[in-house]
Structure 1
């Protein structure tokens, strides 16, 4: 399956050597995707795309350059290598750029154990259309829903990475998805919400009817939304959007931000950044999960690691270059596309679950805001100051009372993360598993 991609990367490396590169790596990616969109009962779009793309990174000493193309002819491969080498000779010197040492690279992995590719046949366009129509019908069957937009899709992506240090490896990944957006009300009183699911293995997908019904339920719950009170209140981030808070933490411990000195956690290594009892774990080897990968974009073997242990920040997220700049070893977190050099990025993330249900946290918060949707973003990456538009539900005396919209929540991420209380409702199939999170004392700007 990846033999052609392997041959292409080897051809790129050979051309780079002949063009004068002292080191190089090559990435070839081939993908197929099929998507179906249904709107107001009609087939709005049916799209299939297939393509292949190659990227070559060359190094001449500490100078590097990247070039990507979608033409895989022999002449183009030669031209790409010559162009990349010419660009590298004009690039600024980077003392931290370079490939992994041969003793660092991954030598073996068990793709079968990771289950990244569905053994079932690719679904037909008709089967995907039926999924979308089933989701639409289930939502429209709910009284009060005026319109539904439903989609279904399937994709398979294959990649192969090879480098002049001896690394060579590739894998494939598949995904099937169904989603629906339901609308209720009219004009300025119109409200909408959505539901969606995606899985690597098609057999793991829930029924499309359950997805449409959930979208309808969520949309109807938003009818009659109004602005909440202004003041300082506890805010409960629903499981659907709670991963954004941990996303801000992950951005702050990214080695690229730390090396630039632009992270609000740049001096926090070894310090308490979450409440005691909460840990953040990265596991890039979870089977059938979208973020799983046996090696990173520099050919280093991936492994489970603890980023935050019992509330204490234990390390940064590093690729080779940021690790060298910070005087540390890479954490095998390099990611890249065909047109870019490697940069640090995490894969599958888990936040320790709490013991309370979401309902129990709603009861515990008393009066405050349950946030189910976030809009826009104003995050200061250097100070951690946080401000976002939000909508959700107002809670009085531990009970949801009415839907709210057009409000802003604000605080500082360091304070917010240290005050978090986690629920136990994270969904097991997600790449980032974060439960609902209760944050005390945020500023709300509403009515």
Structure 2
């Protein structure tokens, strides 16, 4: 379907909702295509292609709302969706905070070309994807010490999205993504170790080469051979750039307006308080070109714009959609996200943490004795207190130098203390939606031997 077709679909949903008795309504149509190929042992293991369209309709009857979804675009189904949604809304509880945006809040103009969210390069055929995956697998096998490649995968996807509301909003956009990954295994028996590498981009021209990805996956797996448990105690922990974004992810979850409104966030009393070290800023920019988290407007039709979440270490605000903003007596920050089967809720877009002046090697040299975390498994995070505990593996640092690999350990601390004391490196990949460098936490509890 063309963008015009999707626009017409969302308009039909709004018209049907009004005809069924809704006081207000908004709708979303998402059409997508995805292709993926997995190879193993030099042969095609799995290939899949899917395409389809999904519709979502939210209706409001007074201060009551309901949401329905379907993948059928027939007139009959659209009429039935509207009728059922209105009937559901009549039975729903009152929500004094529900409601569409006022017309003067809506985005009116946007520049899709500037955002570069879609690559017009033709969809790759399965043979092309298979060739890329096989190249990655071969590059991993070529690394001395790699015993097998668990899987190499290549994928392509594109989506067209259109949103509309009875308040007069109507707008849409397209986005594409291309990915390549490889998982290598080194060693054997009880000494078997696994690691990976991969890349995901909007534009095919930006995607790293299959050889580079496969080789990196193989080298990382081999580097983990001979891992052992670290000693138990209090040590500095350096989160590698590949995993450091998870720490900032916990902060973003804690400043989400839905958590704040429920009172279930460990940062609920921290507005205008220090949450990161002096001088560090955390910036959200949904208008950053060629980045997966970019969008010209949010799921409620409000314009998106750059904002500072943490300025000079101080928390400046929450992440809000219209409803959570109303609950908290604040304006939406333009951060509403939604699928077809649920109403809008707050979500973060592209974020960037200030990078430091030291390299990762500098931090390793200066941390003395401790753990460089390169991968984590499991998670026990208390959203109310910020207590943090995760399984970890990585490299042991002794007197500022890497000595051996470690695994089967647990790192623990409290997120409030951890984040207030982080030391950033300067190695963040700037094309990611979350630009976060390696982060040194000066003191955490390690449970190993």
TM-score bin, normalised by smaller chain: over 0.9
Q: Does the alignment pair 1:426 with 2:428?
A: yes
Which residues of 2 match residues 230-309 of structure 1 at below 5 A? 230-309=232-311
- Which of 182, 185, 200 pairs up with 1:183? 185
CA-CA distance at 1:230 after TM superposition = 0.1
Query: Deviations along 1:345-393, whole A, 9 cap, x unmatched?
Result: 0110000000000000001110000001111000000000000000101
Which residues of 2 match residues 31-430 of structure 1 at below 5 A? 31-148=32-149, 149-430=151-432
Counterpart CA distance in 1 for 2:204 and 2:198 is: 14
CA-CA distance at 1:31 after TM superposition = 0.2
Counterpart CA distance in 2 for 1:92 and 1:15 is: 23
Counterpart CA distance in 2 for 1:206 and 1:375 is: 26
SS at match of 1:377: strand
Quote the residue 1:16 is aligned against.
17
CA-CA distance at 1:186 after TM superposition = 1.4
Counterpart CA distance in 2 for 1:240 and 1:202 is: 22
Query: Deviations along 1:157-186, whole A, 9 cap, x unmatched?
Result: 110000000000000000111100000111
CA-CA distance at 1:34 after TM superposition = 0.3
Counterpart CA distance in 1 for 2:307 and 2:443 is: 32
Counterpart CA distance in 1 for 2:84 and 2:415 is: 44
Counterpart CA distance in 2 for 1:397 and 1:238 is: 18
CA-CA distance at 1:38 after TM superposition = 0.5
Query: Which blocks of at least 5 consecutive residues in structure 2 are unaligned?
Result: none
TM-score, normalised to structure 2, is 0.99
Counterpart CA distance in 1 for 2:145 and 2:5 is: 53
CA-CA distance at 1:440 after TM superposition = 1.2
Counterpart CA distance in 2 for 1:153 and 1:43 is: 14
In the TM superposition, structure 1's runs of 4+ consecutive aligned residues that sit over 3 Å from their partners are none
- Which of 436, 444, 447 pairs up with 1:445? 447
CA-CA distance at 1:147 after TM superposition = 1.1
CA-CA distance at 1:206 after TM superposition = 1.4
TM-score, normalised to structure 1, is 0.99
Counterpart CA distance in 2 for 1:253 and 1:17 is: 36
Counterpart CA distance in 2 for 1:309 and 1:12 is: 42
Counterpart CA distance in 1 for 2:96 and 2:230 is: 53
Query: Deviations along 1:132-163, whole A, 9 cap, x unmatched?
Result: 00000101011111111100000001100000
CA-CA distance at 1:122 after TM superposition = 1.1
Query: Deviations along 1:272-321, whole A, 9 cap, x unmatched?
Result: 00001111000000111000000000000000000000100000000000
Query: Deviations along 1:28-52, whole A, 9 cap, x unmatched?
Result: 0000000000012121101000010
Counterpart CA distance in 1 for 2:138 and 2:417 is: 45
Quote the residue 1:25 is aligned against.
26
Counterpart CA distance in 2 for 1:115 and 1:37 is: 28
CA-CA distance at 1:241 after TM superposition = 0.4
CA-CA distance at 1:123 after TM superposition = 1.1
Query: Which blocks of at least 5 consecutive residues in structure 1 are unaligned?
Result: none
